[in-house]
Amino acid sequence: MRAAGTERLRGEGGGLLLANHQSFLDPIVLGLPLERSITFLARDSLFRLPGFGRYLRAMKTLPIARDAPATAVMRAALAAIERGELVGLFPEGTRTADGSLGPLKPGFVTLARRSGRPVYPVGIAGAFECLPRSRKLPIPGPGRVRVVFGAPIPPERLNAAGGAAEIVVLVSERIAAAHAAAVRWRETGEEPSDVDATAEPG
């Protein structure tokens, strides 16, 4: 596994990490290259899986109940960001079925707006090949994983984007750019340049 753009998260201060969701390996490949810990959000049903629930708690993961108000977890996530922590979220809402980036759900928009902190778009490539959604046992196979941490989106840029739909488009474009850079890096072996990592499509 290799990562690019980690220098963008070396400073202090909270923020929201939004990444494409390739596999159960994603929290690990996001956290390993950083010198800071990440508090993740995940659906509560995953906490009931034998062994995996313990792993999620060890990773400081906050449960999200799909059929219950998200007020409590929203407060917990905002409190973590205010303490200067990074909060990680996979806005597709579920793991990809084929390795591609799917449409983003708008649930992250309120958290991004209320936090008043930067949003960090992240692209992951190769985790799907190591541990695809279709694999019955969650045992990863060998492979090459590349992670690209894109340029942060400042809160002023989010506010200027407009409504929730416009923010979803903006963040989708940024994650797509980081994902494309990670895919190229994995396929060609050429590490992303600063231009690739900070691309602002659209």
* Model confidence, pTM: 0.87
Give pairs for 98-106: CB < 8 Å, separation 24+.
Answer: 98/128, 99/22, 99/125, 99/128, 99/129, 99/132, 101/20, 101/172, 101/175, 101/176, 101/179, 103/172, 104/168, 104/171, 104/172, 104/175, 106/164, 106/165, 106/167, 106/168
**Where in the chain are the domains?**
2-197
The answer regarding whether domain 2-197 maps to CATH 3.40.1130.10 reads yes
Mean pLDDT of the chain: 88
Q: What is the pLDDT of residues 31-81, one digit of tens each?
A: 999 998 898 887 777 777 777 778 777 777 877 776 655 677 788 889 999
